[in-house]
Amino acid sequence: MPTESEEAARLEADRWMAIARNRVAGPLGGQAADPTEQEVIPEVDPLADLSRRARQWSYLIADAGLADLCRFAAGLAAAEAVAWAEGDGPTATKAYSDRRFLAADRIVPWAVPWLDAAARSSADPRIDADKAALLAIGDRLRVAPALGAWGVAGDDGYGPTGQPGDLVSRLRSLWGGLVIPASEAAELAGGSADPHAALAGDGPLVARLYEDAARRWEGLAGLHAGSAGCWLDLAARARLTVRVANG
């Protein structure tokens, strides 16, 4: 009979694969179906880190898209399940640990906010399903508990808190506290060749968007203790953007 740990790992592998399948099923609300971390946080290039992690398990990172990362995570969960079934505790523990750090560093903190943005422009049921799956995984793996050491003041899990400094750059990056795709920025700003710059010209609107985002992240933190550190961090960043928008 499978152990509780084996069954939990297999269930998690299924969740990761369901997200991966949804990412290649078609676009969401004007956004690409399979985003990358760098599209959400332009300041970050995760490819070298991801390639290093993948090589340890003989996995080849194809494009660092969300589907690619979810397939890798699913493979690690499956490896954990097999190792438990074979009585190989060290391999099972390593697969769990490596997956936890992968999810905490390279998936959950940006993919959930990306899905949050997708939900603002589409009622596609895949969005809520994927977001719920990632949050459930985050709770199981405890990727960023609020009382943990996910980050430190001034240089936390997302990067230096005060960067980027100017409002336009904050609107373009999750480091500002919210994902605003170019298509959404253009709609809010009435159309422009540089939609984030145009949106930055309406300080009161930006302040409202980011104050709403801060409250939304705080609510999410209250519901998901395993990833609460991420959402409390984003709430603080969003309120910093409000101050920048208000001059």
pLDDT-derived band of residue 129, with 50, 70 and 90 as boundaries? very high
Q: pLDDT band for position 11 (50/70/90)?
A: very high
pLDDT higher than 50, residue 152? no
Report in angstroms the alpha-carbon separations of 222 from 154, 214, 218. Answer: 23, 13, 6
Higher pLDDT, 13 or 31: 13
- pLDDT confidence tier of residue 155, bands split at 50, 70 and 90: very low
Q: Answer for the pair 49, 38: CB distance below 8 angstroms, yes or no.
A: no
pLDDT at 159: 77
**Tens of pLDDT, residues 26-54:** 655 556 678 999 999 999 999 999 999 99
b/e string for 18-40 if b means 16 or more Cβ within 10 A? bbbebbeeeebbebebbbbbebb
- pTM for the full predicted model: 0.93
pLDDT at 192: 79
| pLDDT grade for 243, boundaries at 50, 70 and 90 | very high
- E strand or H helix at 160, and its extent? strand 159-160
Q: pLDDT tens digits for 183-210?
A: 899 999 887 789 999 999 999 999 999 9
Q: How high is the pLDDT of residue 212?
A: 98
pLDDT at 48: 93
- Decide if pLDDT at 154 tops 50: no
* Residue 153 banded pLDDT, cuts 50, 70, 90: very low
Confidence of residue 24 (pLDDT cuts 50, 70, 90): confident
Domain boundaries, the chain: 4-141, 155-245
- Per-residue confidence (pLDDT) for residue 26, from 0 to 100: 62
**CB burial of residue 190 (10 Å; 0-12, 13-18, 19+):** exposed
Select from 2.20.70, 1.10.8, 1.10.3480, 1.10.3470 the CATH code of 4-141: 1.10.3480
| SS3 call for 230 | helix
